[in-house]
Chain A
């Protein structure tokens, strides 16, 4: 059982480029999340999805978009990357009613 996989593991991106971070879970969890982790700021929620077909904004949604076409996948898109989006991005999932969140290994993104 893989749990949550994220791709790519790391990426260097030129400012202005479009980038999609991939997240797939095999636990059939209905809720999924995207966080960014920055030194001194901790983990902050970007977007979430309580079930396939629905999404919501977290604390820092600007510059990011998500979609949830099915239960397993929750891609995060940066339409036009900026240097302030340099961060480590974590995807997580949980089963509504059980609340424990399970995290992926992260994607390290550097925007130059």
Chain B
């Protein structure tokens, strides 16, 4: 299955600022997914990033807050904009496997102060 590199692994940010998270896959994939994992909560899908088209956002997530880029079949970025402490979470990118299910990156642990 694919190997995913995600950067940064963690960051502490000031409220009101933005952070861009990068996700690099070692093979070409059609769809990439961005998830949020809040403490004590399940993984929540933020959006699906397709190359060559706008990302598809899930209910409760909007492009102005979480803009996503997908410039090619191996790379995507997620920006968390105008951050508040409520955005403190782990953000994960993932891709589908050859059989079923997803392969996940190691995640970005974001703390907003």
Say whether A associates with B.
Answer: no
